[in-house]
Amino acid sequence: MTEKMIVNPYQVEGEVDYQRLVKEFGLQEITPEILEKIKQITKGLHPMLKRKIFFAHRDLNWVLDEYLKGNKFFLYTGCGPSGPIHLGHALVWYFTKYLQDTFDVELYFQFTDDEKFLYKDKPYEEIQKWVYENMLDVIAIGFDPKKTFFIVDTKHAGLLYPEAIKVAKKLTFSTVKSSFGFTDSNNVGSIFYTSMQAVPSFLPSVLKKKNIPCLIPHAIDQDNHFRITRDILPKLGFYKPASIQCSFLPPLTGAFGKMSSTGEAKGIFMTDSPKEIKDKINKYAFSGGQPTLEEHREKGGNTEIDIPFQYLKYLFEEDDEKLAEIEKDYSSGKMLTGEIKKYLIDKITAFLLAHQERRKDAHKKIDDFLLKV
């Protein structure tokens, strides 16, 4: 029986079956051969690749081959500014920073304030406030200001809209309707919007007047946009953008789904205090441990569904040996739920305190990051 599962940029429902998504979306799994190629180029392998957090792709092999020929790609990712940034967002961006640093490439970072305004029941001014707040978090990730270019859809509309209509002309309502589940009740801005999200994948090629490969790291729910983009770009004379997809950082409350900034206690925000982190993990983090101490010592915990272990695997324990040790100890019952939670709390706290420290001065750097037109 196929369980109900909806995964698109505007809805994630049901237990997410990533293998099924790979098939349904027509993605490729990242093979050992591709990992080997990356390893040779970059003299190492990021934990999120080794652990298959980033697990699927399109044309990644091609982008690497072009890179090896001296034809560098640029990176494109983004942020939908409608609320505070949580760890699920940061996961993609920290991986993107690794790609930027390792491959020494430019990054175009889009803030889709038009999208959030059009899809959310929030006033324009509130979305603008989130653009500002979210920029601070993106800057705090540590991207290279010389090679990173912020695009804010409304601020850069003079640059984006003339290109977006070239995409839009080749895209019917039928297509977006079936891709995003739209109806006749959708507002006309939301119907047009994916054309705006397509633009950064070829904007550098327009600006530099040459065709440049693009690699998009993104969470898998954004794939609908880029499937459309890939269909259309060759018709405009550009390469299809390559992409690399990650699974969702699970919500605190359970290992299957997507961390969200709405709903109670689903998210840990980048601005959370040590106390908030501690309280959230202790109160909400779903445990794979056993109900009683005795039972736990006897049977051990289940790391597959244990949120603290999963968070360590996704983002907070970069040391493979240490992670393996925790997995062993927790599975065997040697390590207790309280202990793994405490370990995670310390990791997240250190991680976020460092992030928050970098965030303090970030407002001074916004101008440096904004794409100049």
Note the residues at the interface with its own copies (CB under 8 A). 114, 117-118, 124, 153-162, 164-166, 168-174, 176-177, 182-192, 194-195
Nearer to its own copies, 45 or 157 (CB): 157
Q: How far is the CB of 324 from its own copies (least distance, A)?
A: 49
Closest CA to 111 of 74, 137, 142: 137
Q: For residues 101 and 72, what is the distance between their CA atoms, to the nearest angstrom?
A: 13
Residues 291/299, Cβ–Cβ less than 8 Å:
no
**Residue 187 beta carbon to its own copies: minimum distance, rounded to whole angstroms:** 5
Please, which residue, 46 or 166, has the CB nearer to its own copies?
166
Residue 134, φ and ψ in degrees, nearest 5? -65, -35
Q: Minimal distance in Å, beta carbon 190 to its own copies? A: 8
Q: 14: which 2 tokens?
A: 């049901």
Q: Which is nearer to its own copies, 112 or 247 (CB)?
A: 112
Q: Which DSSP letter does residue 235 get?
A: G
Secondary structure (3-state) at 243: strand
CB 251 within 8 A of CB 258: yes
CB of 161 to its own copies, least distance (A): 4
CA–CA separation, 71 vs 103, rounded Å?
A: 12
Minimum distance, C-beta of residue 111 to its own copies, in the bound complex (Å): 13
Nearest distance from C-beta of residue 163 to its own copies, angstroms: 9
- Measured from the CB atom, the residue of 115 and 306 that comes closer to its own copies is 115
Alpha carbon distance 195, 225 (integer Å): 9
181: left (phi over 0), alpha (psi -120 to 50) or beta: left
Q: What gap in Å lies between CA 196 and CA 143, rounded to an integer?
A: 23
How far apart, in whole angstroms, are the C-alpha atoms of residue 136 and residue 239? 32
Helix (H), strand (E) at residue 329: helix 320-332
From CA 116, how far away is CA 122, in angstroms rounded?
8
Pick 190 or 356: Cβ nearer its own copies: 190
Which is nearest to 240 in space by CA: 116, 76, 121, 54? 76
Buried b or exposed e, range 232-259, using 16+ CB within 10 angstroms = bbeeeebbbbbbbbbbbbbbbeebebbb
DSSP bridge partners of 363: none
The smaller minimum CB distance to its own copies, of residues 106 and 153, is found at 153
Q: Residue 90 CB, nearest distance to its own copies (Å)?
A: 28
The least CB distance from residue 218 to its own copies, in Å, is: 21
Q: Say which residue the tokens 């006897």 belong to.
A: 298
Tell me the closest approach of the beta carbon of residue 311 to its own copies, in angstroms. 37
Nearer to its own copies, 37 or 170 (CB): 170
Q: Which is nearer to its own copies, 183 or 292 (CB)?
A: 183
Nearer to its own copies among residue 172 and residue 292 (C-beta): 172
Q: The tokens of 238 are what?
A: 């550009």
